[in-house]
Amino acid sequence: MALRRSTATVAVLGLLVAACDSGGPGSGSVAAPASPVGPPARAAEFDPGPIKTAAEYLAEPELAAADSARGELLAFACAACHQFREEVTLIGPHLHGVFGRQAASLEGFAYSPALRQSRLVWTPRSLEAWLADPSGFVAGTTMAFSGYRSAEDRRDLIAFLLRATQ
């Protein structure tokens, strides 16, 4: 039992390190752009797509094929700063009800001016762009997270978050 717990802990820590790796000089990795062609999207000119319910998003083919159990493991990086339910604010605001909500709109949290001015609405599409490169998507954000390089990681995480934040 202790060996299983230890192995699981090492696996989760490995995911956290991989997710938080900045991809900077000397890291041996390069962050992928938010889309396969062209420069990463920027929030100022971004179309978040239609606002739907979590069930409607999860019925879409890409999210229906996602591994939300794997997304739950990836969410440990988010949980370092965010709660998924409407609870106290940690380092970052809680994520309860995040889908369909305008960014930087929760009362009582000191958002960066850049995020407040972004007019961004959280949908799976906008969250995917954000998770690929937060500071590239909203220049001036104070969120200290370098993003997830893998589109599969982002898809699995978003599928989990659609369930966990309702």
Q: Minimum mean pLDDT among 29-38, 92-101, 134-143: which range?
A: 29-38
Note whether residue 116 is domain-resident.
yes
35 or 77: which carries more pLDDT confidence? 77
Q: Where do runs of H (alpha helix) occur along 90-123? A: 113-117
Note whether residue 67 is domain-resident.
yes
What is the residue-averaged pLDDT of the chain?
A: 80
Note whether residue 37 is domain-resident.
no
Reported confidence tier of residue 133, pLDDT bands at 50, 70, 90: very high
| Mean pLDDT value across residues 79-95 | 88
Note whether residue 87 is domain-resident.
yes
Number of compact structural domains in the chain: 1
Q: To the nearest whole percent, how much of the chain has pLDDT over 90? A: 62
Q: Which two tokens stand for residue 120?
A: 């961004």
Q: To the nearest whole percent, how much of the chain has pLDDT over 70? A: 75
Domain holding 116: CATH number?
A: 1.10.760.10
Note whether residue 3 is domain-resident.
no
pLDDT at 40: 54
* Virtual torsion, Cα 7, 11, 12, 15, nearest 10 deg: 170
Which structural domain range is residue 57 located in?
A: 11-20+52-164
| Mean pLDDT value across residues 137-163 | 95
SS3 sequence of the chain: CHHHHHHHHHHHHHHHHHHHCCCCCCCCCCCCCCCCCCCCCCHHHCCCCCCCCHHHHHHCHHHHCCCHHHHHHHCHHHHCCCCCCCCCCCCCCCCCCCCCCECCCCCCCCCCHHHHHCCCECCHHHHHHHHHCHHHHCCCCCCCCCCCCCHHHHHHHHHHHHHHCC
Model-level pTM greater than 0.95?
no
pLDDT at 43: 82
Note whether residue 148 is domain-resident.
yes
Q: Is the CB of residue 135 less than 8 Å from the CB of residue 42?
A: no
pLDDT at 44: 73
The pLDDT of residue 47 is above 80 = yes
pLDDT at 9: 37
